[in-house]
Amino acid sequence: MANSKKLRLKDAALKRLLSVVLVTLLGVSLLVVSLRTNTTPGLSGLDEALSETIDVQSFSGRLNLPKLNKLSIRLEKQNQLPPRNRDLYPRLAKDHITIVLYVHNRPQYLRVVVNSLSKVVGISETLLIVSHDGYFEEMNKIVEGIRFCQVKQIFAPYSPHVFTDSFPGVSSDDCKEKDDSGKKHCFGNPDQYGNHRSPKIVSLKHHWWWMMNTVWDSLKETRGHDGHILFIEEDHFIYPNAYRNLQLLVSLKPIKCPHCYASNLAPCDVNARGEGWDSLVAERMGNIGYAFNRTVWRKIHRKAKEFCFFDDYNWDITMWATVYPSFGGPVYTLRGSRTSAVHFGKCGLHQGQGQSNACIDNGSVNIQVDDIDKVANIRSEWDVHVYHDQSGYKAGFKGWGGWGDHRDRQLCLNFAEMYHSYNTSSAVMS
């Protein structure tokens, strides 16, 4: 009797122990699940479509990029969203040429270029990517109103405009203008002319370089694309025949000008409108409506060190003075003899944001578009006229400065590395 009582007591104790163990295990499991679903406070509402995005914060730490703030994180998530208007234009043309429009904060300019794009023949066949230098509500609203093609927006998460009190923006202990860092006890490296960095100025070069690396090597829509991509800016008026002319130039380039690196919609002289000849033109690469393929991008990417260490805040002058000359020969582009795009800007990059200091006469732009500009006006039977030894920025030019701070140069190099393997640093620096 005593033995059976002892056995019953042991069985009861064992059952209680098993119950405690099971409850403990259940509690631990619930805690693990809770931690997994709440590791990023405030971001639980993230769209499921973003579940396969690039882990930006991981390479931020690996490359010592500036720590993302709340706005940067939000912008980076926006960058992963699919294009809009796919319900209106469900399929892109097989041979489409993606268009990238890079913008800053000049809404009056943007309205003009968007209106011109809406009249481009064939625009509904392609994808328009709009790359923003930071976030500005009015600029965003203009792009959200586009209905004439598929459109995707990307926002530079490391733009100086996104960081209000730290690098790449303005820091309280940064040197300004021609400050003596020793006397002022401030931080920063001056350029070759003794001037310290201006965040609003350096953002021009940062944005272009971030955009190029992101479009070619990160975006789902373009990272596997080997063909040409067209790049335009917010102060480029695009003619109705631009897209059809570009398609012709891209198809003719391997035949008519196999040594040409790119195709352009406009002459390299921003004030020119073309010669009006019955011929194609090969000349130095311009910065208005230029298109090139992945092979050319790889050559540019391999020159990241040259690009990032040249003391000039202008991306285009940097390319002309140091990157293109490093290719070992003339860098020609192919274009028509009549322009299909026009630069209409009257003021600098960061002016013209408001009505009071508008850079467009009467808030509009008056560019003559003739009937010949509304249809493709390039002929496959034309020969090519080559311009040799054109004037302009070349190897030997030292730069206009504004790009002497080592932090800007390192951030620039990081942009070249961030979408690549851990071994990219040595490749970029070679």
- pLDDT for res 18: 54
Between CA 117 and CA 148 the distance in angstroms is 9
C-alpha angle 411-413-416 in degrees, rounded to nearest 5: 115
- pLDDT for res 347: 56
Average pLDDT for 180-192: 92
Of the spans 10-19, 318-327, 420-429, which averages the highest pLDDT? 318-327
Average pLDDT for 376-383: 97
Strand order in the sheet with 332-335: 150-155, 127-132, 98-103, 229-233, 290-292, 260-264, 332-335, 280-284, 384-386
Between CA 179 and CA 59 the distance in angstroms is 34
> Is 87 annotated in some ligand binding site?
no
Distance of CA 130 to the CA centre of its chain: 8
Between 180 and 207, the more confident residue is 207
Tens digit of each residue's pLDDT (9 = 90 or more) over 107-132: 999 999 999 999 999 999 999 999 99
The answer to whether residue 201 scores a pLDDT higher than 80 is yes
- pLDDT for res 424: 41
Does residue 419 come out as left (phi exceeding 0), alpha (psi in the -120 to 50 range) or beta? alpha
- pLDDT for res 366: 82
Beta-strand pair 260-264/150-155: unpaired
Give the CA radius of gyration of the chain: 27
Tokens of 318: 């940097």
Average pLDDT for 169-188: 91
Between CA 158 and CA 273 the distance in angstroms is 36
Tens digit of each residue's pLDDT (9 = 90 or more) over 208-241: 999 999 999 999 999 999 999 999 999 999 999 9
Under a CB-based contact definition with an 8 Å cutoff, are residues 264 and 288 in contact?
Answer: yes
3-class state of residue 162 by DSSP: coil
Q: How much of the chain, in percent, has pLDDT values that exceed 70?
A: 79
Tokens of 107: 């809404």
Residue 398 — very low, low, confident or very high, per pLDDT cuts 50/70/90? very high
Average pLDDT for 246-251: 98
pTM over 0.85: no
> Is 206 annotated in some ligand binding site?
no
Average pLDDT for 324-347: 92
Nearest of 213, 64, 175 to residue 404 by alpha carbon: 175
Q: What rounded mean pLDDT belongs to the chain?
A: 85
Tens digit of each residue's pLDDT (9 = 90 or more) over 282-329: 999 999 999 999 999 999 999 999 999 999 999 999 999 999 999 999
Average pLDDT for 95-102: 97
Beta strands in 118-202 (DSSP E): 127-132, 150-155
> Is 373 annotated in some ligand binding site?
no
Q: Helix crossing, 199-217 with 294-301: angle to 10°?
A: 130
Residue 55 — very low, low, confident or very high, per pLDDT cuts 50/70/90? low
- pLDDT for res 223: 94
Q: Helix crossing, 107-118 with 137-144: angle to 10°?
A: 10
